[in-house]
Structure 1
Amino acid sequence: MWVEGVGGEVACEGVGGEVASEGVGGEVASEGVGGEVASEGVGGEVASEGVDGEVASEGVGGEVASEGVGGEVASEGVGGEVASEGVGGEVASEGVGGEVASEGVGGVCFLDKGEVHSQRQWLLLEMAQHYDTIFLFPLSKF
């Protein structure tokens, strides 16, 4: 598992070969390992197509709106940020514009505390249903 800022954004890679994401040129270009996810960032948005029916994602207005098929991934981008929900520790999520990087690994979720506000309290509630432990930390310390 690694978290690296690229062009002011965040690139995350999932454990278990499920999702490998990389921020390129201020866009989001992701490629799944093991045929799970194949994504390509176009025009600063995210246009993704799932392989083997795992993930079908579509970027709208520079945000990320994703819907998992088969219960693998359910993500929704709001206001140019990324709010992600990991099911079964399958998801590594990437923040657009350096807003959010959340990664679910083996039942543990990491979330940038600075991005939790009243508008997104539902995210914690959703995560609590899927993860044993939720760590809140500022990504700036990494």
Structure 2
Amino acid sequence: MQLNTIKPAEGAKHAKKRVGRGIGSGLGKTCGRGHKGQKSRSGGFHKVGFEGGQMPLHRRLPKRGFVSLTNARNVEVRLSEIQGLPVDEIDLLVLKQAGLVAGNALSAKVILSGEISRKVALKGVGATKGAKAAIEAAGGSVAE
């Protein structure tokens, strides 16, 4: 292959649409914009959801509820995942380093899924009622 023989792939390049260049082009006169109206004029377009001045649907309908932005950053960790960790003192940083929770997680909670047979100490990590009982039964502790 030589530098002077390099070509783009077949069909990768196509000519730009040239509008307003006579009826033979198929895009003469109105240039594919139809006749009159806001959309036919230069600069004449409106924002998404605009209904010609009528109160738009997204403003006509009632707004309900609240969506928490931090909710997605509160993570659940299984007891069986805690069992596999090599350290005994577990906090959010340890969980992040082990890859059990995302790096941007704000909080973590241990849930009763699987079992634990070794002594671990949770610090700054929540636990459900069942998970706390299982950890304490194995000789561990939970300090939230």
What's the TM-score, normalizing by structure 2?
Answer: 0.23
Structure with max Cα Rg: 2
**Which structure's residues are more often strand, by fraction?**
1
**Which structure's residues are more often helix, by fraction?**
2
